[in-house]
Amino acid sequence: MIEPGKTIGILGGGQLGRMLALAAASMGYRVHVLAPEDELPAGDVAAAVTRAGYGDLAALDRFAATVDVVTFEFENIDTAAIRHLARQVRVHPGADSLEVAQDRLAEKRFVEALGGRPADYRAVDSRADLDVAIAEIGLPAVLKTRRMGYDGKGQARILAPGDADAAWAAMRGQPAILEAWVTFSHEFSVVLARGADGEVVVWDVPHNSHVAGILDTSTVPAPPEVIAQAPAATALARLVADALDHVGVLTLEFFATAEGPRFNEMAPRVHNSAHWTIEGARASQFENHIRAVCGLPLGSTELTAWSVTMKNLLGDDVHDWATLLADRRAHLHLYGKSEVKPGRKMGHVTWL
């Protein structure tokens, strides 16, 4: 058990790290953030900051010497660096979780082997592969880079064969995956926390609405169509967590379809679709992640309200902060980012 007063290392310095650091601080831990960017939303609320690249082994060695456990808020870190760190200090979740979740092909195969059903897909490593994949899967479809994609980045829709050249060009030569376009009624996610002893707690499944590939709102309770599919999706998420011996929060995203839940993707970390848990559940995803990586018992995921809605503040939405503060039911969270860019996650607001 890593007791309060010890230091938690967080790889990554964005808003997820910021909210993890706040939860850690309220439980009496110190946080040391390592990330390469100049502006670090997590660094602003941490006891210590190291500005270094995730592949800088000398910096990682110095970092490891100052922390009692390492976690991450971001999955696109070379697993060789994670394994290097893990030889010196406890790292949760482990490199296996990261390795599967950072590659869309690996995660689909992994989930399928456990009985999950992703959209029909094919690996695409060349322009010729793309033609074969289109012939086999049909259109419409979506081409995605296997690695480093998020919030709809690294994705190109293919509606007609004539779109294939542009879609392949958008991958910039990176290995990709073609996915059949799924007809769904809703999107939802399963967010769970798994402790070092294998105990698993699951929050209520939120209904997630995306706009232009970016999460817009998460709402609990989800509509009946989602509630009906939640048990099967949750059972799959538990199998995935156990199979990876995952410690910490794990998120699986799904499409609710006429044939049941279709797996979309997973994240081996706290997730935007569970920000509502800060006020909407007894223990938030951030608190339970800290509890899990420190080997503490997990907190209750019970709801604190009849219904909860979380809305992201993207780009210029952040300028509405004064209006939102005037709404006495709104809980406003701003991430302290100075540069406003279209689609950039600047904050979120939660209504109970």
Closest to ligand AMP by CB, 85 vs 156, is 156
**Total residues interacting with ligand AMP, rule: CB under 6 A:** 13
Closest to ligand AMP by CB, 178 vs 193, is 178
One-letter amino acid at 209 equals: S
Segment 100-159, which members bind ligand AMP (CB under 6 A)?
Answer: 119, 142, 149, 152
One-letter amino acid at 32 equals: H
Q: How far is the CB of 149 from ligand AMP (least distance, A)?
A: 6
Q: Which stretch binds ligand AMP (CB under 6 A): 27-35, 176-184, 277-285, 307-315?
A: 176-184
Q: How far apart are CA 170 and CA 96, in angstroms?
A: 29
Q: How far is the CB of 178 from ligand AMP (least distance, A)?
A: 9
Q: How far is the CB of 209 from ligand AMP (least distance, A)?
A: 9
Closest to ligand AMP by CB, 265 vs 317, is 265
Q: Is residue 343 a contact point for ligand AMP (CB under 6 A)?
A: no
Q: How far apart are CA 105 and CA 177, in angstroms?
A: 7
Q: Is residue 179 a contact point for ligand AMP (CB under 6 A)?
A: yes
Closest to ligand AMP by CB, 217 vs 264, is 264
Closest to ligand AMP by CB, 137 vs 293, is 137
Q: Is residue 217 a contact point for ligand AMP (CB under 6 A)?
A: no
Q: Which stretch binds ligand AMP (CB under 6 A): 27-35, 175-183, 266-274, 295-303?
A: 175-183
Q: Is residue 265 a contact point for ligand AMP (CB under 6 A)?
A: yes
Could you write out the three-class secondary structure of the chain? CCCCCCEEEEECCCHHHHHHHHHHHHCCCEEEEEECCCCCCCHHHCCEEEECCCCCHHHHHHHHHHCCEEEECCCCCCHHHHHHHHCCCEECCCHHHHHHHCCHHHHHHHHHHCCCCECCEEEECCHHHHHHHHHHHCCCEEEEECCCCCCCCCEEEECCHHHHHHHHHHCCCCCEEEEECCCCCEEEEEEEEECCCCCEEECCCCEEEEECCEEEEEEECCCHHHHHHHHHHHHHHHHHHHHCCCCEEEEEEEEEECCEEEEEEEECCCCHHHCCHHHHECCCHHHHHHHHHCCCCCCCCCECCCCEEEEEEEHHHHHHHHHHHHCCCEEEEECCCCCCCCCCEEEEEEEC
Closest to ligand AMP by CB, 181 vs 321, is 181
Closest to ligand AMP by CB, 177 vs 196, is 177
Q: How far apart are CA 312 and CA 266, in angstroms?
A: 20
Q: How far apart are CA 210 and CA 150, in angstroms?
A: 13
Q: How far is the CB of 223 from ligand AMP (least distance, A)?
A: 16
Q: How far is the CB of 311 from ligand AMP (least distance, A)?
A: 16
Closest to ligand AMP by CB, 6 vs 210, is 210
Among 181, 221, 332, 334, binds ligand AMP (CB under 6 A): 181
Please provide residue 333's backbone torsions phi and psi, each rounded to the nearest 5 degrees.
Answer: -125, 120
Q: How far is the CB of 293 from ligand AMP (least distance, A)?
A: 25
Among 15, 97, 234, 264, binds ligand AMP (CB under 6 A): 264
Closest to ligand AMP by CB, 154 vs 195, is 154
Q: Is residue 210 a contact point for ligand AMP (CB under 6 A)?
A: yes
Among 213, 295, 336, 343, binds ligand AMP (CB under 6 A): 213
Residues that bind ligand AMP (CB under 6 A): 119, 142, 149, 152, 179, 181-182, 187, 210, 213, 253, 264-265
